[in-house]
Chains A and B, each alone.
Chain A
Amino acid sequence: MKLSKADTKNSYKIIKITEDNDIRVKLFSLGVMEGDTITITHRAPLGSPIALRHDRGNFFALRKEQAELIEVIEVINNKTDGNNNE
């Protein structure tokens, strides 16, 4: 599914980052790669942008349009690590 359609608070695994160079390089800069797990922590008022927590310890935000370029799959078992239970 597309990240833009994902639910707040759930964790998702990144399957594919589409070829938008700008967003690719930005994700590189935080070390976000395909296969990593991210959680949607917040949606700003009016639904965009979306704040995310990367399981390698980064926080960042994207607009809805950019979130559409990221393909994710829901992580059913929350077995990543201690990060998700606050």
Chain B
Amino acid sequence: MNNVLLVGTPNCGKTSVYNLITGKFQKVSNYAGVTVDVGVAEFLSNGHHDQKLNLIDLPGITTLIPQSLDEGITIHSLLGQNKKFTDFNLIIVVLDFHRLEATMSLLFELKELFGKNKIVGLINKVDSSDYITIENQKKLEDLIQSPLLFCSALKDRAERIDHFIREHCTNSIITPISKFSINKESMEFLPFINKDEIKLNYLTQQDHFKRVQFHQKLSRVIFNKIFTMADRFKEKQTYKIDKVLLHPIIGSIIFFAIFYIMFLAVYAWSGPVMDGVEFLFSQISSLIINNLNPSLFRDFLTDGLVSGVGSVIIFLPQILILFFLLSILEQSGYIARAAFLSDKVLSVFGLNGKAFLPYLSGFACAVPAIMTTRTIPNKKERLATLLTIPLTTCSARLPVYLLLIGTFVPEKIYFGIFNSRALSFFFLYFLGSIFTLLIAKFFRLTLFAGKSTSFFIDLPYYQSPSLKIAIRSMIQKGRIFLKKAGTIILTVTIIVWFASNFPKPNQHQLSNINPSEVSKINLEYSVIGRIGKIIEPAIEPIGMDWKIGIALISAFAAREIFVSTLATIFSVEETATNQSLSKTLLNEKNLKTNKPLFTLATAWSVLIFFVFSLQCTSTVAVIFKETGSAALTSMIFVAYLVIAYAASFFTYNLLL
């Protein structure tokens, strides 16, 4: 198996090329620094060729001088020290046609290190609007002295690029022909380098930069021989759009409007689809009830599986809408503008502009978001960001928020445009974000105090988003969601169902009790009921009864489980299994006080608890992996739990 490396500047489209050739679907976005780890996959075309190839996607680098840990990973790989693959046979430098001049210099640096024969260039993002004559293509190839292919990874067919790579990949292994230049300061980002195996050439930082600048000048000379700056359609277009979107007032209004519309879309527009899915599940339930004889197994199917897991799956439409819209936004290039408009706020809280992308991905899921903090060079800033990411509102909170807001917040329209439920939703996201920043600031003043490092943000040209990518991204996220429903949520639901059915009380004692009371007594006698009674004193101050408490505790495995556990417990308890979870929650009474179990105050208390609490085993695991510290991981877990409890207590008493 021969290995082919993809190297290039951030946001030049390496991952798009990788996805095209290997058929994988790694995240792509019109924003720098999305890929932070090495991706290795076989060529899709390997079946038709004798030569078997692996394509390796590496995090973007701008020069061979690493400035952060993700860039260090790429340098490691180029020096043959990556454990996933030690040798390689071809280096493809992906060049961004819109930034050809700036990206070409990396190609020259690589040629100096590896010699000119093993490197080819893929000039990406060449659209029909960027017409380049064949003579000019040839001329550039002659000047650079490397084979070049002008292409668009988003629009071209895979065969064209595949063919070009196969044509130039040989069986000989590439090794450096000269010493690798490094300066003392950058060694920090190459923590695993084996100095015995690699010949290093130590330079002062100044000399090192001078060499980079030499290559930059060379690439400008070459660029000027062929192209002019005069007729750049994309550049002019971007300039015009930015006049509006970066405008301090109009731009800020649009910024809020875009995000508000996203919440509205997730909330209001998904209603009909959700009703459909909910109807489908009630039909499945009826089907089971009508076709099976009453038995424990039938109860297990209807109460445990359909009600429990089904109660989470009905939120699939929202997940799909959210990720579809997010992908459109990411592809367009707007994210960089959003980072620009909101940077002042981040800087007040002592954070680097580079923290924007990790926080933003935190809205989808904290796990990959925590990994993207590798792009933050300063260790203290990185930790402050990493440890506060769990407070951003990830999509796992969505089912909980949607269920409780949809059930307990009355729908009203303010000023003709603001929907009360969408506003509540917006408020929870806002609260999560504000506290993310406040706690980050607290960290920057205490545990991880230090000067804030520089902010530099690259504003890429706008591009029209590809619907195909948006749909693929949506389907991928939907799949992950269903997979979660089929694994951890299913497992916990089964456990909760068993624990709420067993042990059963002695049936003789129940003989002269009203049948509607029997299920309640059964439930209180079960394992769940007993645990519930033990924890009740602890959660009563925040307005919850023991059933909500059980749901809250089981949600520490994953947040969505809150919904499935409530659904399972109430299905076990109720005789009418066919009503929706919302209706059940509204009708449920607290046995002791005979008041509704869920009041608006209780609902908000739960919501606020979910804003703060770190209820996700995967996130805890990734925090431990990325920080390497069990003490820090447990500290953060406990801290967020305490904050969540305190905030819920405050909310409950405020609304009571």
Contact = CB atoms under 8 A, between A and B. Distances in A.
Which has the most chain A C-beta neighbours within 10 Å: B217, B232, B353, B457? B457
A86 B242 CA distance: 13
Interface string A1-16: 0000000000000000
Contacts of A46: 344
Contacts of B456: 22-23, 26-27, 60-62, 66
Interface residues of B, number: 53
Interface in A7-42: 19-31, 33, 41-42
Contact of A65 (B62, B238, B454, B457): B454
A63 B455 contact: yes
Nearest to A83: B229
Which has the most chain A C-beta neighbours within 10 Å: B10, B252, B341, B454? B454
A42 B242 contact: yes
Contacts of A76: none
Nearest to A33: B216
Nearest to B339: A61
A62 B459 CA distance: 11
Interface in A37-86: 41-49, 51, 53, 55-63, 65-66, 81-83, 86
B375 interface: no
Given A22-B453, A25-B63, A31-B216, A57 B98 contact: yes
Contacts of A19: 206
B246 interface: yes
A22 B63 CA distance: 12
B226 to A, nearest CB: 14
Contacts of B213: 28, 33
Contact of A51 (B230, B347, B459): B459
B63 A61 contact: no
Contacts of B353: 49, 63
Taking chain A's interface residues, is the majority helix, strand, or loop, or is none over half, making it mixed? Answer: mixed
Which has the most chain B C-beta neighbours within 10 Å: A28, A29, A47, A60? A29
B341 A44 contact: yes
Contact of B229 (A22, A28, A57): A57
A23 B347 CA distance: 16
A86 to B, nearest CB: 6
Which has the most chain B C-beta neighbours within 10 Å: A22, A59, A63? A59
A59 B341 CA distance: 15
B463 to A, nearest CB: 13
Interface string B441-467: 000000000000111111111000000
Contacts of A53: 239
A57 B340 contact: no
B278 interface: no
A57 B232 contact: yes
Nearest to A55: B229
A8 B352 CA distance: 24
B70 interface: no
Nearest to A27: B456
A48 B179 CA distance: 42
Given A31-B105, A44-B344, A63-B353, A82 B454 contact: no
Interface in B516-564: none
Contacts of B362: none
B9 A23 contact: no
Contacts of B99: 30-31, 57-58
Which has the most chain A C-beta neighbours within 10 Å: B65, B251, B456? B456
B276 interface: no
A65 B252 CA distance: 22
B251 to A, nearest CB: 8
B212 interface: yes
Contacts of B240: 86
Given A31-B216, A33-B220, A45-B249, 16 more contacts: A19-B206, A23-B456, A25-B62, A28-B102, A28-B209, A29-B62, A31-B220, A33-B217, A44-B340, A49-B340, A57-B99, A57-B101, A60-B458, A62-B457, A82-B230, A83-B229
30 contacts: A22-B67, A24-B209, A25-B65, A26-B454, A26-B456, A28-B63, A28-B102, A28-B216, A29-B62, A29-B458, A31-B105, A31-B219, A42-B246, A42-B251, A43-B248, A45-B248, A46-B344, A47-B344, A48-B347, A49-B340, A49-B344, A51-B459, A56-B102, A56-B220, A59-B238, A61-B343, A61-B457, A61-B459, A82-B229, A86-B236
Interface of A: 19-31, 33, 41-49, 51, 53, 55-63, 65-66, 81-83, 86
